[in-house]
């Protein structure tokens, strides 16, 4: 994941995106508590800042998956129904909307149910438009993370030393920030910011071995956008690079 999503072009284009949309990103941080680099990283990972949003007609993608892909037929039938409702509510032309092969739409790749529930009209022009001007996509991603419980100014994840006791066999899954021993914190510059909440150890394969991380609540919120820990870590690490 890191090799795919943390390339130089994505970083440089992310810096441009942040400069071009500084006011909207600032508003989302003020209103929802979501850092600008997190919103930018999600758009960067999902669609390269709106450059690759999908060329399939959404109606074709959803109908195909609903009726010709039995393993997920039930899920996509519901999304197809949500799509019809979304199109009616927003006055969209059904056959004009394009997206991914899985029916995800816009710069943030919202599926129809997420669009209906979380998309917002940040620029107040009367439309929730996730395909063209980035304002609404920025606002909608911010709202999505906020509604899933993002905690303002809390850490997402920290890298720890491989000798950290929480990675030993048989260690409890229910661990808290206060339970981290000194040997876990050699790589942590802001130790006082570690929240005393439940944490989750992550052992991630990298070239030549492993990295050891501790993830917190906000990391779990990123997995609400995509269930993969690798996806969430790619978003987080891209956001950290953008922040620097």
Cα separation of 2 and 181, whole Å?
A: 29
Compute and round to an integer the Cα radius of gyration of the chain.
19
Q: Is 46 marked active-site?
A: yes
**Which of 46, 89, 154, 211 does the annotation list as catalytic?**
46
CB-facing half-sphere around the CA of 65: CA atoms within 13 A: 21
- Where in the sequence numbering do the catalytic residues fall? 46
């Amino acid at each position: 994941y890191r090799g795919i999503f943390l390339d130089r072009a994505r970083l440089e284009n992310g810096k441009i995106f942040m400069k071009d949309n500084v006011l909207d990103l600032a508003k989302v941080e003020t209103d929802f508590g979501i850092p600008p680099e997190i919103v930018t990283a999600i758009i960067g990972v999902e669609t390269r800042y709106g450059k690759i949003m999908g060329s399939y007609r959404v109606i074709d993608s959803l109908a195909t998956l609903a009726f010709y892909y039995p393993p997920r037929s039930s899920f996509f039938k519901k999304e197809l129904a949500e799509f019809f409702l979304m199109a009616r509510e927003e006055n969209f032309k059904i056959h004009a909307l394009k997206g991914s092969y899985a029916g995800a739409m816009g710069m943030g790749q919202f599926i129809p149910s997420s669009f209906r529930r979380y998309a917002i009209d940040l620029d107040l022009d009367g439309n929730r438009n996730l395909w063209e001007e980035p304002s609404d996509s920025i606002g909608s991603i911010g709202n999505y993370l906020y509604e899933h419980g993002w905690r303002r100014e809390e850490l997402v994840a920290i890298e720890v030393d491989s000798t950290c006791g929480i990675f030993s066999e048989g260690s409890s899954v229910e661990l808290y920030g206060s339970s981290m021993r000194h040997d876990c914190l050699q790589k942590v510059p802001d130790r006082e910011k570690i929240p005393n909440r439940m944490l989750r150890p992550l052992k991630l394969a990298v070239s030549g071995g492993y990295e050891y991380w501790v993830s917190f609540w906000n990391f779990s919120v990123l997995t609400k956008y995509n269930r993969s820990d690798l996806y969430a870590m790619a978003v987080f690490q891209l956001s950290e690079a953008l922040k620097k």
